[in-house]
Structure 1
């Protein structure tokens, strides 16, 4: 994307990952499954004092609230959020913008650490169980770029596959398909290969008048 183009963010393109801070050396961050909403709210209260020279502005420390809504589930990270609340454990959080990348192919993201301040679990009789988890963030969130592993990308997206069986070649998937590219628009190259019986039958279909 050229630098003079502006990407309009979509809410569905922002996904939350989390991890208990104490597990940083032993676990990768986990996508919170079934996310329906993610709210990221950094704020700084300000006050104005009237002086003989005019108004004097003062501001408080930055406060950041994060809220993640998701369908209640039995994932490890969903249980760990309960553990974090009950035992006052610090969690790491990432807000990953999967539609915004840099020249290295890394994804734009916010990183922060904080504690779970509330975990609201709604269980209506005629609806699916949902959780609304709020985090109180410590310090100032950090912006940067991060790489997603193949497994992490697979969690939030899937690639185009052909009809062949899927094989692995040193971490590169072979499946008989080629992903759509911008340059594919309008392309049509008539095949010179003999048509199979199945293709003939498809070509003999008569469109309704």
Structure 2
């Protein structure tokens, strides 16, 4: 049995998109996220009878809350559009450390309206946005791939200092580099040959040697 992995908050990310733009653009990572909270709840009403209490389950209500450092990314402005213009948006909570056999990421998908979007700006701290989304119907669970450019925003890989020729491969070899191998690289390394040859021995540098 494989070890059960604990999920960290930093690995849970929120993506969003206007529903009206589903055929035009990928879902976008909301930049500089600091917190995320999904709150599904189902109210239960009880009625006392002579035979005991009868519970009746109510409908599902779900709220999505996030906090991020205020910025002027396109998706940050679209959150304003949603609350000002009553526009439906799509949201994905993506767990970037949980993948399936097809290398797709586990995710919640939902649609909803931004119902609150306060801006808080303190003189001695970064300004923050705290949108609250009222989710329509039931969040759906599934697996999603991430576009390459979004993956680069989440985690970057090693690059050499050289110029990148053509499209970036993001495999550690861009810029004439080679990514660190944790199994074979520890303890390796030597002085460059050019540096070793430039070191003059004490004997050859002394006056008696001439």
Could you give the per-residue CA deviations for residues 132-164 of structure 1, whole angstroms, max 9, x where no partner exists?
000000000001110011101011110122343
What root-mean-square deviation, in Å, do the aligned CA atoms of Structure 1 and Structure 2 show? 2.4
In structure 2, stretches of 5+ residues that fail to align are 200-210
Q: Give 3-state SS (helix, strand or coil) of 1:167's partner.
A: coil
- Other-structure match for 1:11: 9
Runs of 4+ in 1 over 6 A off after TM superposition: 198-201
| Cα deviation 1:115-140 (Å, max 9, x = unaligned) | 00101101222222111000000000
Alignment match, 1:32: 30
In the alignment, which of 90, 108, 111 is matched to residue 92 of structure 1?
90
Distance 1:10 1:35 in 2: 14
Q: What 5-or-longer segments of structure 1 have no aligned partner? A: 202-209
Q: Distance in 2 between matches of 1:194 and 1:99?
A: 39
Separation in structure 2 between the aligned mates of residue 194 and residue 78 of structure 1, nearest angstrom: 49
* Alpha-carbon distance change, 164 to 24 in structure 1, aligned in 2, over 3 angstroms: same
How much has 1:189 moved relative to structure 2? 5.5
Distance change in 2, residues 1:190/1:197 (3 Å) = closer
1:62-101 correspondence runs (5 A) = 62-101=60-99
State the distance in 2 between where 1:166 and 1:4 align: 39
- 154, 158, 163: which one aligns with 1:156: 154
How many residue pairs get aligned? The number is: 196
> 165, 169, 174: which one pairs with 1:172?
169
Report the CA distance between 1:186 and its aligned residue.
7.4
Q: Which structure has the larger Rg?
A: 2
Shift of 1:50: 2.8
Q: Provide the residue aligned with 1:146 in structure 2.
A: 144
- Larger mean CA deviation between 7-16 and 120-129 belongs to 120-129
Instruction: Name the residue aligned to 1:61.
Output: 59
2:18 aligned residue: 20
**How has the CA–CA distance of structure 1 residues 42 and 197 changed in structure 2, closer, same or farther, with 3 Å as cutoff?**
same
Cα distance in 2, alignment partners of residues 160 and 7 from structure 1 = 25
SS of corresponding position for 1:22: helix
TM-score (norm 2): 0.83
Alignment TM-score, normalising by the size of structure 1: 0.84
